[in-house]
Structure 1
Amino acid sequence: MSVKRFVGATTRDVMRQVRLTLGPEALILASREVPEGVEILAIAEDDLGVMTQGAVAAEAPQVKSAAVTPTPAASPDTDFAALSSRLLSEMQEMREMLSRQPTHTDTEVDHSLQAWVQRCVLDAGFSQQLVEELLSELPPVLLVEQGNAADWLYQQLSARILVPDSELELLNAGGVVALIGPTGVGKTTTTAKLASHYVLHHGNQGLALISTDSYRVGAKEQLAIYADILGVDMYALSEEVSLKDLLNKLTDKHLVLVDTMGMSQRDQRLVEQVGQLCNGDLPVRLLLLLNAASQRETLAEVVDTYKAAATAAGVQLQDCILTKSDEAARLGPLLDTIIYKKLRLHWLSCGQRVPEDLVPVDRQLLVREALAIAHTNTAQETPKVLEKTVVTSTAVESQSAVVSKTGRTAAGLFAVLEQHVPDFNVLQQAWALIGLPVSLQAQRLSELYSLIPQRDCSAVLWARQKPLFGCAWLMPDLALSDAGLPLLLARQDNADLVSHIAWASDTLGVASHILPGLPEAPVWQWLAEREMPWIAVVHGNTFVHFQDARCKLVQLPSEQLAAYQGDLRYRGQSVQVVLQHWPVQMKSDSTQTQAWCATLSVPNSELVVDRYYWLAPDYAEMGDCIRLIFEQLRHDELPGLTRQAWSLLEASGLVAQDNELLRFLSTSIAALACYLDYMQTRWAIDLRTHLAHVLGRRSYNASVLLDAVVHLLVTTK
């Protein structure tokens, strides 16, 4: 085999030809623009040694005579072929020269990389203390397989930011939460945003709002307007009723949000105010709001003062929300303060809209945004630094060889996925559509939907028909294969849920369903007539009738014997699941229904991680209900992972894509990451280790696996 010539309209088209013909290990020898577009010379890596030796032997006498003998005119193709031979000869000479020269030492590599890391971190607004910590942990050599220098820096900074295990942990935990912070930080608006998110996930029955702000004009009225819109109870503190007495009257509420009066960190009354908040019979969780646009010194003073006031009141201040991030010139000072003050960051407020401008924290994206200003300043230096990070003690590798290594890593991992994950090739084909004009992407995508096999589907995970939080599009429905792999389904336009369920049953042979909420009467009747088992996700405040009494699901007797107990990998950790069920009725005169509760706890402890509720028809067998509940829990992360994939794809520079294609890719990648996370076969365990290694990580969860898959897809595009 010899050097091969490839021609295409764009560089991307030609590179795709190279990979298909020579594989991902191919080395690029030369490229140039031609009338047809782009021309590239490439060779398979295995043939490089043979070709180099042959080229050197053949070219040696010609080079010597070229100086005294005239060379006849040659065609452009002949010139380009001759160029390839000379390149091969020069590569051999370069290798010999490098083998005679001393290699770069680890110290030289460290100095170059240290300077780049220091400038990036300081320009972003982080402290010198953090720079010194990072430099002390800097590996002497950063190999491409472990992520480049920027990836390493993102991971190091992200790992230092404390976040809750679940994005809804604050709301799910319930209790009394008091929002505190300086005047004008946005406590009232943030209270309304948190209340809106709670209502979206749990309904409005278990929530109450309290305003203690009697100084700022219109504060109580503003919160009252939001409470009226949400349909929740709101109370304004008065001189006649103390906060302690008011909280004692609200013990039936799952969550009470307290909007406090803004107070400067230098106000002498601050300790008294925090003391009054924490002086009741019920424990109060303090939530500090920090203005992202504040200076580092101000932020540190605010945290120190409010922490001291909390300590004086006998409680700990550990939680915070970042506000006005859209007004901040740099996020580094705020993140640095959160890191060293050991605060847990729950939410990010980025505007005045309720609830859209309050989003869960994505550490990776937050760090990337914080470092964006530094990367702008160092953009011209980065390639040199990254080039030095792949210097080894024995050889200096060319850029094409570095790309080749990344290609080999991706090719090997993708080969495992192709072998063990059904229809991984559909995701690869969808990814290949990125190179097409936007006008063709939707057309080709509709053809891909038809390739998803309509077979071996054990259940359908029906999506909520409302936009995914933070996005303008709906989460697609997913068919679960017998192996548990989620497969995308395309809904028919303007068709009701009964029609979709009937289509899935007839076409896919699906006989059980996971519903996002209680089915409406037509759906319930259709399923009942065919005695198809189903479960519906509901919140704990749903009212049912149990033993002739009306109560909420959370009030059902907890001493009920467990129907099943087992282990599950849930949101990146191993948990123990205890299932209980009760015979209930939705109304006193309605048919019998099953109520189910899953309590997720840390193994061998009493620490509860989360609790879920479902309703199921009375004819559903216990085994079917348990199977569907575990399937729903395994895929509980899918919406959040889909948002993460969407953000990564947008940030990767893959712009001007059809939104439906990005939705397909985001959901497919998220489903793959979720599937890989809970699979316990040997190939999956090994693959997870390799994927985590791509990002330089030792541990993994679905989020890390998703990052690694996107990284490999983008870098090998």
Structure 2
Amino acid sequence: MSVRRFVGANSRDVMRQVRETLGDDALILANRRTEGGVEILAMADEAVDHFDPSSAPVPPDTSSSVFSLPVKDPLEAMSERLLREMQDMRELLTRRQPAPAVEPEHASDTPTRLYHLLLSVGFSEELSGEILAGLPASLTEAGVDSDQPLAWLREQLMARLAVLTEESSFFEQAGIVALVGPTGVGKTTTTAKLAARFVMRHGTRPVALVTTDSFRIGAHEQLRIYARLLDTPMYALDLEQPIDDLLGRLQGKQWVIIDTVGMSQRDQRVIEQIAQLQGGRSTVRLVLLLNAASQPETLEEVVLRYRQAARAAGAELDDCIITKQDEAGRLAPVLDIVMRHGMRVLFGSHGQQVPEDMAVATPAGLIDQALSSQPSPTHRSAAAPVSLPRWSRDVLGQGRRLSSVLTRLRQRVAGFAHLESIWDIAALPGGIQDERLDRLLDDVRSADHALGMAWSARRNERGCDWSMPDVGLDADGAWVALPHLQHRHPAGWQPRLAAQSDAHGIAVHLLPSLPEPDVLAWLEAQHLTWVSLVSASQRVYFQGERYTQRQLFIDSTLTHHISVRFRGQTMQLWSAYAEVQDTAGNALLAWYGEIRDPESAKRVGRRYWLTPARLGTDVITLLVTQLQSEGLAALTKRAWQQLKDADSGDVSTEIRLLMASGAAAVAGHLDTIDDDDALALRTDLVRLLGTQRKRRDTALLDGLVHVFMARDAIRQLSSVSREGLL
């Protein structure tokens, strides 16, 4: 048996049994409290990749009937599901993309030129190969004089560099901040710079300075001089003194900054120092200072060791400040390390003046400085030390790709962060999912900035017990990531249109069928933009005669065409229009469109629309949007089935439908846009999936669902680790 069950009186007792049986590297799959104490399912780490769920232990049937089949223990079912996710994650994280080989400097192809540039300014082979593996084919053959490849490279580097979005968000958050790092990195000067910037915003009363540096001669005096200049109090904390001893003296101070003792990353007391900072009742935010002028190998080790010390103390160390930028010959090495370890840069420091020589980090400024540095002819790049295993760097690389994709989706797709929140709710216990969903939707809708709505037909999808949600449109006409559930709208076309227009400012309505005349009259009276899909038998008046749409266009010659994405393929929409009236005499434009294969000119579909005549022919872009939105239902069905197979019925129908339709909207959005950023994002998303698909829209959908599931699996494993079970 791979999976073993352990039962003990308490957690310590049962963990002792696990270690004695399976060793210190045992993998905890699940735990729960029972009447007899604590029960844990565990297995040896090396058995994960060979685990067969069918071999997992099944408790005997306790029913009285001899014909009954076993009922599986929910704890074991959860452990099997977690193991499958871990196996999928291991397969995902162990995939590696080959880096382009280093060629001579005079090589003419674009990948080699960019690779040579990255290495020469100080980026590592690891990060350089990872980025260039996603170079779009359209840029591969770009000429030497083209600026597009370098612009694409700059955007890729910026997307991987996390920074503080607003300075105010750092100084407005009350609490205790501790600057940590090796000796001589500039902690005391940076402490003064941060304190000065806070005083400039909030005055001297809410701030206090603290030093733990009692080793360096004059260390207290240096910070005391800064404190006197800023007119702020300063306190000294001995290295072995608990931080709680200061809390009584810090009453009324909203923002406290601690200048810690500088220690080598190899000093074992680093762990003790961070443990001291985290041992009190107040949470201390750790910020690591990185000297831009240090050797890449030293910086790598500093980040690795200090983050290990933080984890050992039960803390997180994700923020950093880059110091001594003015002394660094190249900035790329430190940025490379920050990117590969997923840290966030808060500020950059470039001199001794307080507070002038410090600025909020900006991706554009840092990347431009890195790329414009003097290239090194030796191509020496930042390399991870021997202490970081190769497989660890592979895992970090895949994690960076995953993080980069999610970051760019948040920036690119309106409402994507809200869709992530829906996935977060799906991971909660079923009893609180609906209540959390109601609260989230209230908050989201009150701040929804959608410009339009692609309304879906008011019926269940074929073969489904749910109806396709309505999808919002942003200011650019792209789909918003969090759709609207139909049953949460008012009944009747006019009430639901009015609710969206009045409460949320929706001004554009793409209708699946022509509403009643009174609804059309209301739309016209409100001067709202609308288009309506109609049937071929829809009757209109043309030059005083009554025609069906089919009769009206039966002999029409289609002369205008525009490119569209239809059923995952690039097609052309050929169209014609005529000025008509409805039964009430309203001036309308009747439209006929044929979807054709651009290569064979074969017709694959036809559509009819009615639009207000006052909008003119510019409305064609809305017809394209509505046509392309037809594919969202099929994508939603696909995602719905994937989620249903994965969640074992633990997710409510509403939440699963929002997850599925939201993923479909994002995949459809990425499928229909063609700028360079979108192309790079599509490439990275499909690469994370690891396999090729014939249809681009379904490949993007599968990749997106895979990204969400990978994100959730990582979060689940991380939470188990923080609970002390691993």
TM-score normalised by L of structure 2: 0.43
TM-score normalised by L of structure 1: 0.43
